[in-house]
A = this chain, B = another copy of it.
């Protein structure tokens, strides 16, 4: 950490700050310039409050030179994490997660599960607990939805992933293969901490206004508890742009692969909110090196209870899946 002092600060105040920093177990290197003095802080700066230091009258600015995340930092774990979900590898090879926005009925979820499996999907998604902006919108089938997902798993052999909305529902998720944390809960720290106590894969979606560092710090909450099976998911960020629902930030994929060893998948359905943009953005995500895709597929969009606007019909998904495989072959060369 680097602390830049203002020009002409009193020696006494400067010494007071240096003593206080040393009191936190740090070694201080002093470098004097014409207009300012720079303090280099060496040691464990993870717990140093840089905002507090920046607020002091004698300080011009503070810069961190090390990332504050450890468990998920590629510097300390150079090899890719590979997560095994009932034989499906996430992080090692490409994973195709697909299914309806909401679980609606046994007939629906089993039909979609069979269809996406036939197209090459290896994990089934489906919402049972639905976060909705409006209290008047459909909120999901909840516990019943979870049971229907398990039936679809039994029928197809596909592991299931579904979203949790609060700590109080954890007992219901015991038999779920991957627990999803939605974008709005990315900084629900109580929930993250509880998930850290499990030994089960967590699919962590990036928040709408979250930096990559914040996403990694949320992964860190889970990993610090001992659960190292975290899958990151880019699903669009909020910008001034108003033609798509969110702005899919695909450069986050290669950037995250530099910063962390965790697998990174992409959700083009929620990112764009428009079914006809899902295929081009799925192909783009594959081309830039994502470890997988999570895509909404529905057998009858006209009657879907939520988010129908972004769901694909099975035949469109099938076509997309073939192109994805061809692109994987190109970039794997």
Check A240 against B243 for contact (C-beta < 8 Å): no
Interface flag for A327 (CB, 8 Å): yes
For A4, the closest partner residue in chain B by CB is: B65
- Residue from B131, B137, B221 in contact with A135 in the complex, judged by beta carbons closer than 8 Å: B221
Check A135 against B167 for contact (C-beta < 8 Å): no
Q: Is the interface of A mostly helix, strand, loop or mixed?
A: mixed
Query: Which residues of A236-254 have CB atoms within 8 Å of chain B's CB atoms?
Result: 237-245, 247-254
Q: Which residues of B contact A258 (CB under 8 A)?
A: 276
Q: Which residues of B contact A302 (CB under 8 A)?
A: 20, 52, 56
Complex Cα gap A60–B54 (Å)? 23
- Residue from B63, B187, B224, B333 in contact with A65 in the complex, judged by beta carbons closer than 8 Å: B63
Copies of this chain held together in the complex: 4
Check A224 against B55 for contact (C-beta < 8 Å): no
- Residue from B35, B40, B188 in contact with A188 in the complex, judged by beta carbons closer than 8 Å: B188
Known: A55-B274, A65-B63. A47 touches B136 (CB 8 A): yes
Complex Cα gap A165–B307 (Å)? 28
Q: Which residues of B contact A33 (CB under 8 A)?
A: 42
Complex Cα gap A47–B245 (Å)? 19
Check A55 against B331 for contact (C-beta < 8 Å): no
Complex Cα gap A167–B191 (Å)? 10
For A186, the closest partner residue in chain B by CB is: B184
Q: Which residues of B contact A208 (CB under 8 A)?
A: 209
Check A66 against B284 for contact (C-beta < 8 Å): no
Check B211 against A241 for contact (C-beta < 8 Å): yes
Complex Cα gap A272–B168 (Å)? 34
